[in-house]
Structure 1
Amino acid sequence: MIVAFENNVVCSDEKVRDYLLAHHADLKEDQDEDALCLVRLHKEEDIDGTDRVDLVGWREISRELYWAEGQMECNYSIICFSRKTTSLQMSVVLSTCNQLEWLEKVLWGYEAQDTKNFELIIADDGSRKETYDMLQRITPQLSFQVKHVWHEDKGFRKCDILNKGILAAQADYLLFSDGDCIPRKDFVSTHLCLRRKGRFLSGGYHKLSMDLSKDITKDDILSGRCFDLQWMRGKGMPASFKNNKLTATGFKRWALNTFTPTKASWNGHNASGWLSDILAVNGFDERMQYGGQDREFGERLENYGIHGMQIRYSTVCLHLDHARGYKTKDSIQKNRNIRKHTRGAKVQWTSLGIVKDELRGQSVKVNSYYDRYTREEEKLTSYKEKGGFYRHIYSLSCRWRRAKYHDKVVRAYQQDTDAPALSNHSGVIVSLTTFPPRISQLHLMLKSILWQTCPPEKIIVWLSEQEFPGRLNDLPEELKILMAKGIEFRFVSENFRSHKKYHYVFREYPDSKVITVDDDLIYPRNTVERLLSLSYQYPDTVCGNVIRKIHMDGNSFSVYRKWTKVFTMPVNSSLQNVAIGCGGIYYPPHWYGEELFDWKIISEHCPSADDLWLKANELKRRVEVTGGGEFYPRPIELPQTQNNSLQKKNNGKTNLNDKQWKSLNELWKLDELYCINGK
């Protein structure tokens, strides 16, 4: 639950509710206990619907209470809201500290952007209350979502607050700038247009004098006049080669970006990158003070294999002048020493970043083994497709190496006793279920989700009370330890077998993005990231990492074994695609109808093939499935979990998949629906 506060509001809750819904387009009223809550504080007594509470212990989570003086007891009432689901393309992280005049001008710069499909996260390194008051005044006038992430002023801690801003981001692509840099109207859209996998974007700024910084007004920003060279020259800006940043277009812009002697480093005032890459190097090093802290972060990205791309003449921002009282010789020298070590030792991961412990050392080794396993799996797939000599002879050494790295990954997870806690605010829920024969190995699978490059906000395991009558007492100690990491175990009275993984999460979280996974696999670290990336390209579709293609014999479905499993293909969305649960499946909010939950039909026609039941409902509602992209390996199977595998029953000798799909087809005439819509 996120808690927001308002002090000294003397009016009815209805008026406050109406005001918020009218002025914040991203809010809707919601009485759910996990909703966003507005807590209204009243100094006056005898207001209907309020209670009294001592709020001394709440100082740490409320800036109003932090700055409050005198008696801390007051009345309060609660109004519940939740945020409407949006498909954000970018999170902009903006650092600031006690520069409210400059920050206000920058906010108008983002209001003037030619795209609004972004959220703005203000990473506030301890500003005084005046900054908060300004944001309360300005934010309702803006047409995009603003988050204010703040911590107490304890000196220069920009890297700390940037890491907190990263954790607050909901998009998979992040743009970083400063609260003294006014963006041109195409700033965000250009970063989005130029983003590339395996790269980060390196921009620059156009520095202004103090007089010109003060002269620029809100109207100058919204109209774009402040980016007009002639207007700037009229305000006293001297002639300079750097003025090309304001005027370069087309071939000239390309040439200046390509042949500039300036290195494509990470510049905190104008740089962007993928969230997965940022998390892979553990964010910013919190030992760093002023002077090169952004460059050190970029150097670790380079060591990780993510290289900078120069765009200093494509993305323009105006840097407003200010003093730098936090700059000291000691901090500069300290940062130089850290950067020297980063470059010399090829450091990728900082131990004092978002994760502040030694957990990552084990994870780096696991990921290295999994990467090698993936390469062998990809080679083996290629040999199988070629057939003949390749399939039977060349593949032997490949199979041996794959088995070796498979075992190393499993042993590494078995030896690793810890995992990071969930701390992301992506709004994504990973949902799964299991049963007693697999419960002893489940902690290994859950760790592979906790170690994702783009971790979810929630992980929920649905368990039947019929199979676990002792509830938490029936769980192994390893799972109880993981509860402290944020994993939820929810016990339900019914036993819908494998269908539990989607049934309850869709019911309880209809507005959320959901990813279902299987309980017997160790997943590659980029599983969630890949699914979210596909969903951003095709927002209203189901997305899968492992895809089969429906095969038809004339106007009838062929047997399931002929539905080809596709390992690599261009990203595409189609009714022909079938998402397979072993790779994880992403579901957008509200894609389903009420018939999805009809257990009477499920138990009669499709009790053990949840993937096929979901596919049948997708065909009925014309919901396409998206898949494709780079090679995705077969996830590593956990030992001693395949004796009770549904895959063997459904697609093995008993061939339950064909029987259940035939039954669904007879019930709903799926072949006719597919021939009309699918082909």
Structure 2
Amino acid sequence: MQQAPTISVVITTYNRPDALTAVVEACFLQDDKNFEIIIADDGSGANTRDCIDALRARAPVPLKHVWQPDEGFRAAMARNRGTLAANGDYIIFLDGDCIPQRDFIARHRALAQPGFLVSGSRILLSQRFTDQVLAEHIDVPGLGLFDKLRYRLRGDMNKVLQLMLRWPDLGRIRRKFSWRRIKSCNLAVWRADLEKVNGFDESFVGWGHEDSDLVVRLFHAGVLRKDGALATEVLHLWHREAKRDEESSNRKVVLQRAADKTIQATRGLREHQGESA
């Protein structure tokens, strides 16, 4: 299986420097350090900039910060700008509140295959445990088996087997396509495939389904889906739910595009050509 020669991890963030620090520090501790980090910032303030400067000063891998003005929820644009700033042939999208396990990069690299994207999953942490992790700087991926089981029994994690088991890499291809349960908080795509469909579509308004839309368009362009379960799970720090005022209308767009076999984003990567990184 062909490996990705260069990996770029694009981490989206918005005004949550404590969570971002936990995520980036977990990236620093990866078993495989042959990658770069692009922090795609959707308009955070000075606290986040200072946090990133401090992280960059001790980063064992290249780290860039791409910022855009705060004009509402524009994660699709942030991810596109992060992609354009990346040097990698293979892009792993990770949210700034999703802590990767030690072998996150290594497992994504092993699953990388031309013609496929890899959709990962997440393990949800409780509000109580999230507060503890951030306040006490707990290294959750480094916890022992007993501690993981204890937090699961306390209800501080919604799953635990996924932290202890590894499913073999064979049999991960989804023969029957589905755009549901896609999470761009943990999604790996070849850069060439992103360019083929013009990246994330920035015409989506508000929260919801811009990640599903990307996967639908990639499927229409011939890109199939691999399941990253029991290999690439991330630990999702608790946060309040975002406003979902536009979710239903965004879902209708995805359904229509699935029916129309749409491939190109209305406004995406190409619309940023000529911008400085």
Q: So what's the TM-score if we normalise by structure 2?
A: 0.88
Q: Superposition pairs for residues 174-573 of structure 1, below 5 Å?
A: 174-216=91-133, 220-221=138-139, 224-225=142-143, 228-235=144-151, 237-238=154-155, 242-250=159-167, 263=178, 266-288=182-204, 289-325=206-242, 327-329=243-245, 331-356=246-271, 421=273
Contact 1:199–1:273 (CA<8 Å) still a contact in 2?
A: yes
Q: Which structure 1 residue ranges, 5 or more long, are not aligned?
A: 1-86, 357-419, 426-679
Shift of 1:421: 5.0
Q: Deviations over 1:121-168 (max 9, x none)?
A: 011000111101111222212201111100111111111111111110
1:216 counterpart SS class: helix
Distance 1:337 1:258 in 2: 27
Letter of the structure 2 residue corresponding to residue 286 of structure 1: E
- How far did residue 348 of structure 1 move? 0.3
Specify the code of the residue in structure 1 equivalent to 2:183. Answer: N
1:272 alignment partner AA: A
Render the CA deviation track for 1:169-202: whole Å, top value 9, x for unaligned.
1111110010000000100111111101110001
Partner of residue 167, structure 1: 84
Per the alignment, do residues 220 and 272 of structure 1 end up closer, same or farther by CA in structure 2, a change over 3 Å counting?
Answer: same
Shift of 1:219: 6.0
Q: 1:100–1:131: 8 Å Cα contact kept in structure 2?
A: yes
User: Contact conserved, 1:98 with 1:128, CA < 8 A, in 2?
Assistant: yes
Distance 1:91 1:337, change over 3 A: same
Superposed CA offset, 1:550-590 (max 9, x none): xxxxxxxxxxxxxxxxxxxxxxxxxxxxxxxxxxxxxxxxx
Residue 45 (structure 1) aligns with: none
**Per the alignment, do residues 303 and 240 of structure 1 end up closer, same or farther by CA in structure 2, a change over 3 Å counting?**
same
2:49 aligns with: 132
CA distance in 1, matches of 2:244, 2:156: 32
C-alpha distance in structure 1 between counterparts of 2:43 and 2:156, whole Å: 38
> 1:220 Cα shift?
3.7
How far residue 262 of structure 1 moved from its aligned partner, in angstroms, is 10
Equivalent runs, 1:591-630 vs 2, <5 Å: none
Report the count of equivalent residues.
269
SS of 2:159's partner is helix
Letter in 2 for 1:221: D
Q: Does 2:107 correspond to 1:107?
A: no
Distance of aligned partners of 1:146 and 1:152 in 2 relative to their CA distance in 1, 3 Å threshold: same
Distance 2:158 2:128 in 1: 21
Measured in 1, the distance between the counterparts of 2:237 and 2:216 equals 27
Q: 2:120·2:186 contact (CA, 8 Å) conserved in 1?
A: yes
* Distance in 2 between residues matched to 1:233 and 1:349, nearest whole Å: 45
| Structure 2 Cα separation of the partners of residues 94 and 175 of structure 1 | 8
CA contact (8 A) 2:132 2:138 kept: no
Residue number among 33, 38, 59 corresponding to 1:116 in the alignment: 33
Q: Is the 8 A contact 1:282 1:353 kept in 2?
A: yes
Cα distance in 2, alignment partners of residues 99 and 262 from structure 1: 35
Tell me how far apart the structure 1 counterparts of residues 240 and 197 of structure 2 sit (CA, whole Å).
31
Aligned partner of 1:234: which letter? R
Q: Tell me the secondary structure at the aligned position of residue 120 of structure 1.
A: strand
Between the aligned partners of 1:262 and 1:238, the Cα distance in structure 2 is: 33
Q: Is the 8 A contact 1:92 1:177 kept in 2?
A: yes
Deviations 1:75-122 (A, max 9, x none): xxxxxxxxxxxx971010011101111111001110110111111001
Higher relative contact order, structure no. (Cα contacts within 8 Å, ≥ 6 residues apart) = 2
What is the CA–CA distance in structure 1 between the aligned matches of 2:148 and 2:265, rounded to whole Å? 42
Deviation, structure 1 residue 224: 1.0
**Secondary structure of 2:270's match?**
coil
| Cross-structure match for 1:158 | 75
Q: Secondary structure at the match of 2:193?
A: helix
- Aligned residues of 1:175 and 1:270 also touching (Cα < 8 A): yes
1:329-361: per-residue Cα shift (whole Å, max 9, x none)? 3x11221121122101000001211224xxxxx
* TM-aligned CA deviation for residue 322 of structure 1: 0.3
Q: What secondary structure does 1:212 align onto?
A: helix
Separation of aligned partners in 2, 1:229 and 1:333: 41
Structure 1 residues 158 and 342, CA gap change in structure 2 (3 angstroms): same
User: Could you tell me how far apart the structure 2 residues matched to 1:223 and 1:277 are?
Assistant: 31
2: CA distance between counterparts of 1:180 and 1:163? 19
Distance 1:223 1:308, change over 3 A: closer
Structure richer in helix, relative to its length: 1
* Bigger Rg, structure 1 or 2: 1
5+ residue gaps, structure 2, are none
Q: Is the 8 A contact 1:163 1:284 kept in 2?
A: yes
How far, CA to CA, are the matches of 2:140 and 2:156 in structure 1?
A: 24
CA distance in 2, matches of 1:219, 1:262: 40
The TM-score with structure 1 as length reference comes to 0.37
Q: Could you tell me how far 1:319 is from its partner in structure 2?
A: 0.2
| Superposed CA offset, 1:521-565 (max 9, x none) | xxxxxxxxxxxxxxxxxxxxxxxxxxxxxxxxxxxxxxxxxxxxx
Amino acid at match of 2:10: V
AA at the equivalent of 1:146: L
Question: Percent identity at matched positions?
Answer: 30
User: Would the aligned equivalents of 2:125 and 2:156 in 1 still touch at CA under 8 Å?
Assistant: no
